Amino acid sequence: MFRTALRNLLAHKTRLMMTALAVLLGTAFVSGTLIFSDSVGSAFRNKMSRSLDDVAVSVTEGGGRPGTGKDKPEKLGDRAVETVRALPGVASVRPSVEGVAMIADKHNNPTGGEWGSAGVNYAPGKDGKDSRYPLVKGRAPAAEGEIALDERTAGKTGAKIGGTVRMAVDGPVLEKKLVGIVRTDNPRVSAGGSLAVFDTATAQKLFGKPGEFSELVVSATPGTDKDKLTAEVRKALPATFEAQSGAKLAAEQSKMIDEQTRSIRTTFLVFAGISLFVGVFIIANTFTMLIAQRTREIALLRAVGASRRQVVRSVLAEAGLLGLIASALGLGLGLGVAVLLPELLNANGAHLPDGPLVIKAPAVLSALAVGVVVTVLAAWLPSRKAARIAPVEALSSGDQPPAPRSLVVRNCIGAVLTALGVASLLYTTTFRDRSGLTYAMAGSALTLTGVIVLAPLLSRPFVRLFGKLTARFSGVSGKLAKENALRNPRRTAATASALMIGLTLITGLTVSAVSANEGVGRMGKQDLTADYQVKSSSYLGLAPEVGKKLAAQPGIAAAVPLRMSGFQSDGQPSLAVATDPSSIAKVTYLRVTSGSLADVRGTGAVAVSESYAKKHGLKTGSTLPMEFYDGKRAAPKVVAVHADNDVLGDVLTAPALVDPHQEKVRDDSVLVKAEPGEAAGLREKIKDAFGGNPIIKVESPEDLRRAESGNIDPILNLAYGLLGMAVVIAVLGVVNTLAMSVFERTREIGMLRAIGLARREVKRMVRLESVMIAMFGAVLGVGTGIFVAWAGGHLLRSSFPQYEMVVPWARIAVFLLLALAVGVLAAVWPARRAAKLNMLESIGAQ
């Protein structure tokens, strides 16, 4: 029977080619994803390990043992350096200073972004060099007016050795002389950030740490037990310092890298799973048709003594061999995917590190196993059908088509699954928070599965309706196409379901993304009346002097600073926005429903939003318990309740209440209202007023809306690309089904040609059948996707009140047109093959 399976596989190479392509693409996705994630993880670890090569112990402030009770804990300074340096087994101590340094590019924008703009000190060792930052060109900075940059940042600024670099830390623009260019393994720089290097004294001054260090990096002499050295360092220093071994740091960083790469790997594997799931329909369809064509052959095997179990094993062996061959080819294609994927992600700003391709045994074995298992499982039901063929009945059946099987049981199962799925999704709409996510996911899966099971039943009315239209315009070709599609509704449904799955997901994602974009647009438009928002490009915020300077600029009617402060109330985290209540009406629309904003002053009064008041049981005259993160408490009175406002959040108060609880008073942003007719050129005037400071970021309401929704479109485009693989596999399924259907109907097509059906009409018949199948899958997929998106959208409204479902009919029309094109293109080869059949040979075909 194994030889029989091998012979069948070799005898039907062309018919199985499309099936093999479906498996190949799916396993390529799996293997490529696994190899890519292993390679990226290895590259990150190599980069991290190089930066930790000489780290035996790392000493930082905070996070250590309980304090000693001193009012002012000792800072990490020269005294700590000398203490550690005197310990036995210590080879060297490298004091490190780190902070945020915004480097201006050629357009006065920050080169490293909000979180990636790193500033460090150059700490030379005994050889006069700092191993962390090897010099590529020039020399190390040695004076307050000097700076060194990493290679990428130097390129962005356009500065040359001896030229001027514009930068800012937490104040006005500074200009420094570029004296060196360094290479670095700093992960922030690898992720697209920038690196500015100063001498130690300058770094301490810039980052507000005179005489202090951020970290002490301790190297050990050869043969020293690093764990024991870590314990000695911990014992020698005050309890408020934390000492960690280099091995522990490496383990933590490795864990962090695994978590980061795991999320990427999981995302791509989900789409790989979708592609393979779509492939299951193609594989099952192919083997079902092959078994129907080999009825006599299987019956003959049964007649000469083959048992049912042997027939099943023969079909499964054939499927296993097909899966193994396709998986091996897919593994080779996956290597190409793993090579190209980093380039694609880097082109979109991922900044992945360079490194060799890492091919691990689990990735190879997983890809091969997945391809074989999926193929064998998909062929299991067709193999059971083959085993049920009775020898005598099959041998005496001639060329009669198999009797159609009842769909009653299948329809009942599909109806139950669909009903359960729809009920779960409708139940999801009753939730007012995200606790209904589990029901939404289960309901979506059940609904999609139920629709797939019901597809044969649903295909009949659609094909009949579509067939009437085609018959009106295409005559006999349209009628024949309709009858062919209706002849085997199971096959029509299985072929269309592959396309339906992809379009369901694409439609659902599109509707959700477009609706979210529209909600973001409404969010800023309905509350913000300011012309510009001024923020810091770094996470440090703005100095209060920025707001005062803006208020004094000509052309500005109002400049209202907003100061954020976190606190807890009844154990729940909240955020207070401190500002001048008398000026807030100039930059945002705020409707007060009770009380008066004029009473929000001093330290004893707050205003709250309606939703916050409802959630916490507050009203005008209530007391709001507040516990700030410095451990101090306050209990201001609620003097006003206002309508929900996205600009001001839940709790509005005066600066006097929150300032004492901040380590350093900073404004989160300043809302600017221009004088009438002055808004157009105000952005440039504000930037000029601060000397082109890269820290100062000026955004219009349109910029804010674009920034809020800017992450949605790239994610949607990525999803389109990934789901496109499933659609490609579905197209292969349509081609495969039509090609095998033409072979199955060879005699029928010969008879039609004999009674006068022209070649072009044969082509049209096959093409129309393909279009019917594709459009059925598209309509079913679009309808299911819209319903799932509608139900799931209710979960977003609790945290995103502006969300309102919007159906992008233009994009939906594009999807349907693409499905129409798929139907036409998929029929090209099968239609040509059908039209070229020899009339007499076709009639005599067995």
Judgement on whether residues 614 and 709 belong to the same structural domain of the protein: no
**In the chain, how many domains are there?**
3
Residue with tokens 């977003």: 796
Q: Taking 80 as the threshold, does the pLDDT of residue 783 lie above it?
A: yes
Domain boundary among 699, 714, 738: 699
Asked, for residue 11, whether it belongs to a domain, the answer is no
Amino acid at 162: G
Judgement on whether residues 605 and 478 belong to the same structural domain of the protein: no
Measured at the CA of 84, the angle between CA 80 and CA 88, to 5 degrees, comes to 165
The confidence score (pLDDT) of residue 397 equals: 47
Helix (H) or strand (E) run with residue 281 in it: helix 246-293
Helix (H) or strand (E) run with residue 651 in it: strand 651-653
Asked, for residue 81, whether it belongs to a domain, the answer is no
The confidence score (pLDDT) of residue 69 equals: 43
Domain limits for position 139: 98-208
Segment 416-433 mean pLDDT = 86
Judgement on whether residues 557 and 517 belong to the same structural domain of the protein: no
Judgement on whether residues 686 and 554 belong to the same structural domain of the protein: yes
Q: Whole-angstrom Cα distance, residue 464 to residue 822? A: 20
Contact 49, 217 (CB under 8 A): no
Contact 249, 703 (CB under 8 A): no
Judgement on whether residues 716 and 802 belong to the same structural domain of the protein: yes
Judgement on whether residues 637 and 546 belong to the same structural domain of the protein: yes
Segment 153-181 mean pLDDT = 91
Segment 270-275 mean pLDDT = 80
Summarize pLDDT for 130-163 with one digit per residue, the tens.
Answer: 888 999 999 999 999 999 999 989 988 888 999 9
Domain boundary among 653, 683, 699: 699
Q: Taking 90 as the threshold, does the pLDDT of residue 419 lie above it?
A: yes
Contact 732, 536 (CB under 8 A): no
Judgement on whether residues 647 and 783 belong to the same structural domain of the protein: no
Segment 784-803 mean pLDDT = 80
Q: Please give the mean pLDDT across all residues of the chain.
A: 83
The confidence score (pLDDT) of residue 65 equals: 46
Judgement on whether residues 806 and 731 belong to the same structural domain of the protein: yes
Amino acid at 845: A
The confidence score (pLDDT) of residue 66 equals: 45
Judgement on whether residues 709 and 807 belong to the same structural domain of the protein: yes
Asked, for residue 91, whether it belongs to a domain, the answer is no
- Bridge partners, residue 165, by sequence: 176
Asked, for residue 181, whether it belongs to a domain, the answer is yes
Helix (H) or strand (E) run with residue 138 in it: strand 135-138
Summarize pLDDT for 376-404 with one digit per residue, the tens.
Answer: 888 888 888 778 777 765 555 444 455 55
Whole-prediction pTM value?
A: 0.70
Q: How many CB atoms lie within 10 A of CB 28?
A: 27
Asked, for residue 718, whether it belongs to a domain, the answer is yes
Q: Taking 70 as the threshold, does the pLDDT of residue 48 lie above it?
A: no
Asked, for residue 714, whether it belongs to a domain, the answer is yes
Judgement on whether residues 830 and 710 belong to the same structural domain of the protein: yes
Amino acid at 225: D
Asked, for residue 671, whether it belongs to a domain, the answer is yes
Segment 61-86 mean pLDDT = 71
Asked, for residue 829, whether it belongs to a domain, the answer is yes
Closest of 121, 85, 130 to residue 214, by C-alpha: 121
Q: Taking 70 as the threshold, does the pLDDT of residue 844 lie above it?
A: no
Helix (H) or strand (E) run with residue 372 in it: helix 361-387
For 147-200, what is the HEC assignment? Answer: EEEEHHHHHHHCCCCCCEEEEECCCCCEEEEEEEEECCCCHHHHCCCEEEEEEH
Segment 33-37 mean pLDDT = 84
Judgement on whether residues 716 and 839 belong to the same structural domain of the protein: yes
Q: Taking 50 as the threshold, does the pLDDT of residue 643 lie above it?
A: yes
Judgement on whether residues 687 and 613 belong to the same structural domain of the protein: yes
Percent of the chain with pLDDT over 70: 88
Domain boundary among 645, 680, 699: 699
